[in-house]
A and B are shown apart, each in its own frame.
Chain A
Amino acid sequence: MGNVKTLADLRKIKEDLQGKMSLREKSDHPESLVQIRVAMATCGIASGAKQVMEFFIDEFEKRNIPAVVTQTGCMGYCFAEPTIEVTLPGQNPVVFGYIDTRKADEIIEKYVKNGELVDGIIPVNYETIETKREA
């Protein structure tokens, strides 16, 4: 991969990229992908949310995990920034706080891959026994 400086350089790399598009086709059905939303309001940005987002994008690619990483506005947990919301396919979203690259790595390895919950969850939604019974 040489130096990419102009659009012409980008065009040369395009052919190489076109062959590796299979993962993205799944984004037509986002429910089948892992969805990560990174809170990107002022408090998040100041605490390093950009690095967290870049880490997730890179690591999902390296570990070959189909995922969509997007930004969102303030989720209200400014005291715990950077925060992320992780939605595994078919599951309720879970919000994690105090994310750094080490924590993000742990979440990918344990929660995303194995469904194993890790420390740092911020309780968001709760169901009482009554509502759960109705469901």
Chain B
Amino acid sequence: MKDLAMHILDIVQNSIAANATEIAILMDVQSESQQLVLKISDNGRGIPENMLESVTDAFVTSRTTRKVGLGLPLFKMNAERTGGALMIESKIGSGTSVKSIFRTSHPDCLPYGDIAGTMALLIGTNQNIEFNFSFTVNQRSYAISTTEIKQTLDGVSVSEPRVIRLLKEMINENMLDLQSIKT
């Protein structure tokens, strides 16, 4: 996977497959410690305790079409390559949380990619799931939730192509703003 947006899209698919109805994506960037935290949490069915340790093994998967599941292993590899880590917490019946830490000073740290577009696409094509997205740079945050979006849209569906485009623009503008603030 060549950027963080692709990992977000990938891990969220896991959450959707686990029948999550609420998914939270959190990005926290600290310039001083040169650290980026990317956390994806859901209220899906959870990962059984005996599988939790081995779930980052490429040959451990809950998929039935293949014996290989590369999403988590690749994510872990990319985080660890920068000197970071991947932590997974889960409870059956409650949900799962995948937290990754990347060291942004490392040359192998992945670029963001099209995060706004990915969020807009996820929101627009999964109308029955509530998403919460927050992007924080040096303690300054931008957060948006589908609850607020749907309330604002007042009956207009999030799956309208124009809405998806607008959401992408909105999220992108706010993310760029936060990134351009000089501390």
**What is the predominant secondary structure among interface residues of chain A facing chain B?**
helix
Q: Give residues in B with beta carbon < 8 Å to A.
A: 1-2, 6, 9-10, 13, 16-17, 63, 65-66, 69-71, 74, 114, 117-118, 121, 124-126, 148-149, 152-157, 159-164, 166, 169-170, 173-174
**A76 interface neighbour in B66, B117, B149, B153, Cβ under 8 Å:** B66
Give the complex CA separation of A41 and B156 in angstroms.
29
Q: Which residue of B lies closest to A16 (CB)?
A: B162
Give the complex CA separation of A6 and B2 in angstroms.
30
Complex interface bits, A69-101 against B, C-beta within 8 A gives 1, otherwise 0: 111011110100000000000000000000000
Complex interface bits, A1-36 against B, C-beta within 8 A gives 1, otherwise 0: 001111101110110011011001000000000000
Collect the chain B residues with CB atoms within 8 Å of residue A53's CB.
Answer: 121, 125
Task: Check if B160 sits within 8 Å of A74, measured CB to CB.
Answer: no
Task: Check if A24 sits within 8 Å of B10, measured CB to CB.
Answer: no
Collect the chain A residues with CB atoms within 8 Å of residue B159's CB.
Answer: 24
Q: Say if the beta carbon of A108 comes within 8 Å of chain B.
A: no
Min Cβ gap B143→A in Å is 11
Collect the chain A residues with CB atoms within 8 Å of residue B2's CB.
Answer: 46
